[in-house]
């Protein structure tokens, strides 16, 4: 995306009338427009174009992973109830989702070559059930500062229909640009419920305040959230370790899954890796 110096002549830019405008952001294609929405509003939508059989496979896989995790650490009644973590370490279909070409193209446009998967969580929003994610938060929680450029995004993949009845995500537009959480009156006036079909990524700047909506439908509303950011940010769960070294040698996955950014084991290792690259 480029900032374009606007010519003085009025009307030279086409149908959008303006005056006194000397700089204009250019969106050369649909991906640029999505990036612009993300940076200005704090959120955008990406269609993954996934078929119903693939969506159903992912729903079943999410349920299986959650049951396996709940069997090893009881989750009912805890803050982590109805959250399944590090899905791709349990089922390869979630690695396919985390590397979906539409999502990766968007990340490349936004971040350039270097970005890392920091978390991949399944979120099960059940009807009438409390959920930790029903409260407003940033996906980089406890942070009260703003960056001039996005440093991380949340890409929440909708496995079910997201709308006001099913407990679709609510966002506060522009909140990634302000340090403090807004007033109650601002929240009540400006919260925006996301409507999205299954197979859509709801992409937010990780500093945009958001929450899951209350699910008043009869069925669970499921999603898979991906936190993806610049490599100076730390993974919540050590993904290379959870994968047992798998994909480390793949040029893209070695970076995206975090192998490349792990702290060097020693000064010698760090120097050797640097020399190998030169």
Ligand X SMILES: O=C(O)CCC(=O)C(=O)O
Query: Residues in the site for ligand X, rule: CB under 6 A?
Result: 121, 123, 125, 133, 139, 156, 169, 210-212, 223, 225
| 212 vs 243, beta carbon nearer ligand X | 212
Of 100 and 138, the one with the shorter C-beta distance to ligand X is 138
Q: Looking at beta carbons only, is 83 or 89 nearer to ligand X?
A: 83
Closer Cβ to ligand X, 138 or 253, answer by number: 138
Q: How far is the CB of 128 from ligand X (least distance, A)?
A: 15
Q: What is the dihedral of CA 234, 44, 225, 215, to 10 degrees?
A: 140
Nearer to ligand X, 169 or 253 (CB): 169
Q: Closest approach of Cβ 79 to ligand X, in Å?
A: 13
Beta-carbon contacts of 106 under 8 Å, excluding residues fewer than 6 positions away, are: 31, 34, 35, 46, 155, 203
Q: How far is the CB of 176 from ligand X (least distance, A)?
A: 14
Least distance to ligand X from the beta carbon of 155, Å? 10
Give 247-252's long-range contacts (Cβ < 8 A, gap of 24+): 247/95, 252/99
Q: Give the nearest distance from C-beta 139 to ligand X in angstroms.
A: 5
Tell me the C-alpha distance between 202 and 181, whole Å. 21
For CA atoms 86, 191, 202, 196, give the dihedral sign. positive
Other beta carbons within 10 angstroms of residue 47's beta carbon come to: 12
Cα 268 to chain centroid, rounded: 35
């Amino acid at each position: 995306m480029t900032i374009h110096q606007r010519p003085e002549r009025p009307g030279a830019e086409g149908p959008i009338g303006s005056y006194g405008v000397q700089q204009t952001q250019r969106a050369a294609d649909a991906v640029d427009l999505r990036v612009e929405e993300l940076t200005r509003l704090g959120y955008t939508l990406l269609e993954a174009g996934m078929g119903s059989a693939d969506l159903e496979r992912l729903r079943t896989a999410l349920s299986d992973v959650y049951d396996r995790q709940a069997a090893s650490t009881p989750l009912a009644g805890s803050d982590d109830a109805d959250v399944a973590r590090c899905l791709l370490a349990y089922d390869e279909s979630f690695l396919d989702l985390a590397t979906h070409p539409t999502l990766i193209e968007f990340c490349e446009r936004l971040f350039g070559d270097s970005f890392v998967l920091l978390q991949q969580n399944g979120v099960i929003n059940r009807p009438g059930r409390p959920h930790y994610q029903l409260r407003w938060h940033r996906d980089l929680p406890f942070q009260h500062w703003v960056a001039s450029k996005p440093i991380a995004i949340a890409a929440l993949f909708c496995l079910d229909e997201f709308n006001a009845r099913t407990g679709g995500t609510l966002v506060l537009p522009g909140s990634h640009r302000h340090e403090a959480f807004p007033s109650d009156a601002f929240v009540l006036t400006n919260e925006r419920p996301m409507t999205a079909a299954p197979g859509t990524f709801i992409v937010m700047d990780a500093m945009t305040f958001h929450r899951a909506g209350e699910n008043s439908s009869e069925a669970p509303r499921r999603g898979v959230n991906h936190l993806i950011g610049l490599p100076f940010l730390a993974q919540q769960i050590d993904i290379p370790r959870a994968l047992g070294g798998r994909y480390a040698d793949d040029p893209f996955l070695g970076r995206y899954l975090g192998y490349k950014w792990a702290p060097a084991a020693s000064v010698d290792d760090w120097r050797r890796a640097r020399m190998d690259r030169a």
